[in-house]
Chain A
Amino acid sequence: MVQYTRDEMLDDDFYGEDEDTQKGKFLTFHMANEDYGIEIKHVTEIIGIQNVTEVPDMPDYVRGVINLRGKVIPIMDVRTRFKLPPREYDERTCIIVVNIDDKSVGLVVDKVNEVADIPDDQIEPPPRTKREGGGYIQGMGKIDEEVKILLDVTKLLYEDELEELDAVSQNSSE
């Protein structure tokens, strides 16, 4: 499996460079007929699917942990996270390693596309829906005719507890 590092993806962009050069750049990936994007500044690297060790007592979307060069990092299946039908992992399945607050998490996606420039004026606010998953959307990015769903990685990782709590409290108040 081909391994890309962030440096390669960003060509002349190297570690420690001003964040400005990373602004407006999104890593796009494909999942169940839709294209998604996440801000490039969160992405550490992209690796192929690996042998995942399952961890008990975890929400179903947390697949388990993998060994990334001696570092143990948890893996989240974004498909399961969005309640999309599961799909067998294949040679195109990738793990995008993101780093939020010095914590690394791997995101399992169907296929990684490219790094795309989406300027601010091409991003529309997220549609107002009450449907599950709406909270993680940062905006809708337009590249020509295509639409990429831009995800807020922090919310993708951490929003769940809040939502679940909300759901619980709503249930109990009913």
Chain B
Amino acid sequence: MSKDISSEDIEIIQDFIQESHDMLDQLEPTIIELGESCQSVNCWEILKCESDDCHRQGKEIDIPCWLHTGYVGNGLGICTHGSSEAECLSCQVFVMTNGDTETMNAIFRLFHSMKGSAGFLEFDNISRSAHAAENLLDLIRSGNIQMVPEHVDLLCKACDFANEALDYVEEHFNDEGMAEKAEEITSLLRDAIEDAQNRAKFIQEDTVQQGKKNDTHSSDEKASASEESEPDQQDLIGPEMIETFVLDAEDLLRRVELNLLKLIEQPSDEIILADLFREMHTFKGNCGFLNLGDFERLSHKVESVLGEYKEGDVLTDSDSTQLLINIVDTMQSGVADFSSDGDGTIDQLEMHLKSLDDLLQKISNAPPPIPDDAPRLGELLVEKGIINFEDIEEALEEQQKPLGDILIDMGKVTPELITTTLKEQHKIISQDADKKGKPKPRSLPVKRQDIRVDLEKLDNLINLIGEMVIAENMLVHNPDLEGMELENFNKAAQQMGKLVRELQEMAMIIRMIPVSGLFRRMIRLVHDLSTKSGKKVDLQLAGEETEIDKTVIETITDPLVHLLRNSLDHGLEPPEERNKAGKPEIGVLILSARHEEGEVWITLEDDGRGLNREKIIAKAIKNGLLEEESPDLSDKEVYNLIFQPGFSTAEVITNVSGRGVGMDVVKQNLNKIRGKVEVQSKPGRGTKITLRIPLTLAIIDGMLVRVGLSKCILPILNIREAFCPKSSSITITPDGEEIVRVRENFFPVIRLHEILGKEPDCMELEKGILIVLEYQDNSACLFVDEIMGQQQTVIKGLSDYIGSIPVISGCTILGNGQVCLILDTGNLVELKEGSEHAAALQELAQQQSAAEQAAN
């Protein structure tokens, strides 16, 4: 890129960066998933092969069969389970060793489009490394080399590099500074390719040089063809043509859709069918003209199905029509994708083709080919208790006709039953197919329309709306209006108030984004850590759709990373230790997010060895955090010690953790957003850490209370009841604590005026109001002068300058424009225990210093 870059270029580059970042975020988990799905298998075990001619039979051979006896690469082509390269590539054994073709293609496509855009923008280093990664992937997917775990690591590294390079580009608008690293990653990839190819060649030499067919050559050609067909095609076809095609296609497909819907109402209507057939045929032709192979194949299949309906006497049923509608949907989204610079391919094409094949076969009244793992019709019927095995066997003997028909003939079942069961079978097959084809965001039926906005603009909008709410309040409650009867005005004011509140809510929601992005980033981290430490981990994610404010997500990323590291490094045991403890070898980590008590809770749970109470106490005493003869601490207090800076019980500092910084970061970052950390642990059973994050911008239901001249808001969620106490229910303990009895329970009394340092209306508890606050397991009574009413409260943070105050969780602006504090019930309730404990600790500290002075 030249030095003078126009603002348009910058925009293009920024779009590219954003898109590529998004793509990489998608890539990483997919690559790791792929790597995990790949394993060494014995072909004869998987295929239940009984061929004695094959010299692989019964032996554990390290070399994958498709390179050896199969049809890929320079395989001997003697495998009895396939007869061509295509069959070999779709063979179960190939999928298990070299990854699912669909996933592979998805990864390949992502790298390919990144290479393309980077090349267009002349970011040669990025495009070079992407090209190298693409080469590797191509060899893997075409079966020329075997996939090994190192390849996954390498591809992850390539992603890392791309991310880094993108950051660099963002700053400098070129990638020249990344040349060295690009060279490094490219040569790493090249080495890997060479290694793998050498290995493949070795196999080739090892096997008998039979067959003159040079498969490597042809597949190479194929690979390069698939790579180059696109640019060629784009050279030939101008943007205007694409535009016309897209408009045409959209129109055609819309008509097809409408006609299909009509077909549901009027099955087998000849006119509709003829229309459909024509439209589909035109679409197919257009696609063929633009060289869109996927579309052409799919539309051809649809056309065949429609042809069958048109020609034959077969009645259309709503199920198959629905299937066609789904296919048309897929085409529509495919076309939309193509118009927005997509590569003109259809996701899960094979699956769709297969479902159409099934349909075709069903129409021509032949039993559909059933995948091995899908339950057979007979099995389903037996399972349902409709017929028994003998009947089936009898029927199978004359299996010339479809099983269903035979059974009907035999009078065992009714035709309706067969039809419904067949449908069920279909559903199971399609479900299986769904599971196999990994769902990708691009194939989501609902296409999300996003727009990127500068966060500052959004904040300004939210602030403006906030001001509007206050202005509205001032207007409606204007003193000039007092005492006037204004029926129409009030109506209008009410309407406006409603609108303003809706507007405010919408603005708040805009800032919220789901945690899924954050969670998915952790997949990579866990993968890396588990390979490094040799511990096996199963990371489970839950509640990914939970939405949190964007800034909050940024703040909790670091803490989450530290917590995950800790869980993996200290929490989960190595496999041998787990075996000894009678636990499954693979440790389970559960990362979940959910809404609870008006907060968002992010929980990280492991089933490792748990926190060691004794170790923590011993270490705390050594570090001087605790006194020697500390009172019996609750588990909670002990666990809280781990959040002290520099605290670590690890004997050895590994490269992952052990320096005692991580947990401090967790605490600090959560304090910033007024969140809390909670630790629960059972020795030998695991640890559960909960990050409790307030919804910063959320609106809560608040109760406005007054003490003296000050007003405060209490979250209604935490209020259990309010009452005027009788003097008989109040007890004062010898150390001055006031305890109030509510039915069976005793609660400590907290005087709000003491906390705020204000003068109350009255000091006697009987003359005020007690509000029972409940927070998790703790309860307490808050003494206030008056309850002023309930209201919707928009939480605002107190200024950074003020910092965090334990008893205040934030503030809000009341209708009259005044700032009102929101009380933090959790801390308020815990204040009682805390103060006693703090006093005890202080006493101890004094004793200690006295002892030291005496010693001196």
Contacts and interface: CB of A to CB of B under 8 A. Distances in A.
Given A67-B817, A70-B466, A70-B467, A55 B805 contact: yes
B671 to A, nearest CB: 15
A116 B758 CA distance: 41
A95 to B, nearest CB: 14
A72 B799 contact: yes
B797 A56 contact: no
B801 A72 contact: no
Contacts of B813: 67, 70, 72
Contacts of A72: 796-799, 811, 813, 819
Size class of B's contact patch? 20 to 34
A53 B802 CA distance: 13
A151 to B, nearest CB: 17
Contacts of A169: none
A51 to B, nearest CB: 5
Contacts of B818: 51, 53, 67
B801 A105 contact: yes
A15 to B, nearest CB: 14
B820 interface: yes
B817 A103 contact: no
B807 interface: yes
Interface string A85-111: 000000000000000000111000000
Contacts of A66: 819
Contacts of A70: 463, 466-467, 470, 813
A100 to B, nearest CB: 9
Contacts of B808: 55-56
A54 B463 CA distance: 23
B756 interface: yes
Interface stretch (A18-26, A37-45, A57-65, A119-127): A57-65
Contacts of A103: 799-801
A57 B806 CA distance: 9
A35 to B, nearest CB: 26
B510 to A, nearest CB: 17
A54 B796 CA distance: 16
Nearest to A73: B799
A71 interface: yes
Interface in B259-315: none
Contacts of B90: none
Contacts of B811: 53, 65, 72
Contact of A56 (B463, B757, B796, B817): B757
Q: Which of A57, A67, A69 has the most CB of B within 10 A?
A: A67
A53 B799 contact: no
B360 interface: no
Contacts of A105: 799, 801
B647 to A, nearest CB: 23
Contacts of A118: none
Contact of A157 (B467, B801, B819): B801
11 contacts: A55-B802, A56-B755, A57-B805, A57-B806, A64-B819, A65-B819, A67-B813, A70-B467, A72-B796, A74-B799, A74-B801
Interface of B: 463, 466-467, 470, 710, 755-758, 796-802, 805-808, 811, 813, 817-821
